[in-house]
Amino acid sequence: MEENRAGEIAGLEKRLKAAEESLAKLSVAVEQTRDMVVITARNGNIEYANPSFERVSGYSKDEVFGKTPRILKSGKHGQVFYERFWNAILSGDVFKAEFIDKKKSDEFYCVEKIVTPIRDKDGSVTHFVSVDRDITGHKEMEKTKRLAGLGKLVADMAHEVNNPLMSISGNAQLCLMSVSQIPDQGIRNYLETIVRECQRAKTIVQRLLKFSHPPRGRLKETDINKTLDIVAGMLEHQFKLDNIELVRNYCQEEPLALVDEQQMQEVFINLLNNARDALPAGGSVEIATYRQDGMVRIEIKDNGCGMPEEVSARLFEPFFTTKEKGTGLGLSVCYDIVRAHKGKLQFKSRQREGTTFIILLPEAGSSADV
């Protein structure tokens, strides 16, 4: 009997050792996997996050412990999306979808997320385990291919439109010259309208061509403070007429970046004009510069009404606009210009608080500028 007892103990010890080894392997696998693994309690509070989560999101385990995944909320998904998500997992179903989340640095990233409920022995859901695969690079490649195809279509269309447009404008101007002695002001008004609208259409065509084939810039070491000053000087009078205060808070040390100054002026003008449009009743716009970890950081901040989620989610999409006469290409072109300079264009917006656009450019001579 003692021999049987000893055999049972030995068998139990063997099974315990095997279970410990299996648990250790599982722990190592979760810690070393490239996928992000997060475990939350039923109420959503985070109880565990693996190193891949820290690497991608920029948050440490200590920073997220006890908090909910709302800290990653990007504003790119509507309320209905999150309701469907919570209804599924609280009922015990596995939920799989693509999420756009936001890092600690305010950058967006895209993940393929699978959330699985964990049940206790009675079958009640007690926790959730979320496994996220970073697919940002894949999405960027898809976007690049789509934009390349769209760019070719736009370029072809712009060229086809440009020729008849020039013909219409030219003939209208000839008619204006011919009827200069005719007292009928109505005819002149009609012809002047044709010429003016042709010019507006020509401007749109030029923007389309610039979108489809962004010009290659001539890079030179540039003091970003001086470039911003030039742009602010050009726009300041109009800002005063619109009862908008333009505040400049530049860093003391020269923030030098290797840029095409003309293209960067175009970016600053576009962002400042957007800030002005966000303040129809007046307000203030702040321009600030910083040197930060080998980057030049430029912030253009307004204290307007901010943007709703459905607008901010599509902000950089080509041809998306909320303006009555906008083409929807301004911000898209700005995004491409900044990206061509190995930089980043980001934004933060809260309704009733305002919007901040953030441009990050590698400092001249930094490793990111090589």
The string of pLDDT tens digits covering residues 145-171 is 766 666 667 667 766 777 787 878 777
Q: How far apart are CA 140 and CA 133, in angstroms?
A: 15
Q: Which of 27-36, 88-97, 296-305 has the lowest mean pLDDT?
A: 27-36
**Exposure b/e, 94-104, CB count within 10 A at least 16 = b:** ebeeebbbbee
pLDDT at 40: 93
Q: What is the mean pLDDT of residues 121-125?
A: 88
299 pLDDT exceeds 90? yes
What local confidence, expressed as pLDDT, does residue 4 receive? 63
pLDDT tens, position by position, 175-212: 777 766 666 677 778 888 888 888 877 777 776 666 66
What are the DSSP E strand ranges found in the chain? 36-41, 46-49, 95-102, 108-119, 125-134, 220-223, 244-249, 256-259, 283-292, 295-302, 344-350, 354-362
pLDDT of residue 370: 45
The pLDDT of 257-285, averaged and rounded, is 91
**Residue range 311-321: average pLDDT?**
71
Reported confidence tier of residue 39, pLDDT bands at 50, 70, 90: very high
| Mean pLDDT in residue range 325-347 | 81
More confident call, 283 vs 313: 283
Average pLDDT for residues 306-317, to the nearest whole number?
Answer: 76
11 or 313, higher pLDDT: 313
Quickly list DSSP for 281-341. Answer: T-EEEEEEEEEETTEEEEEEEE-S----HHHHTTTTSTT---STT--S-HHHHHHHHHHHT
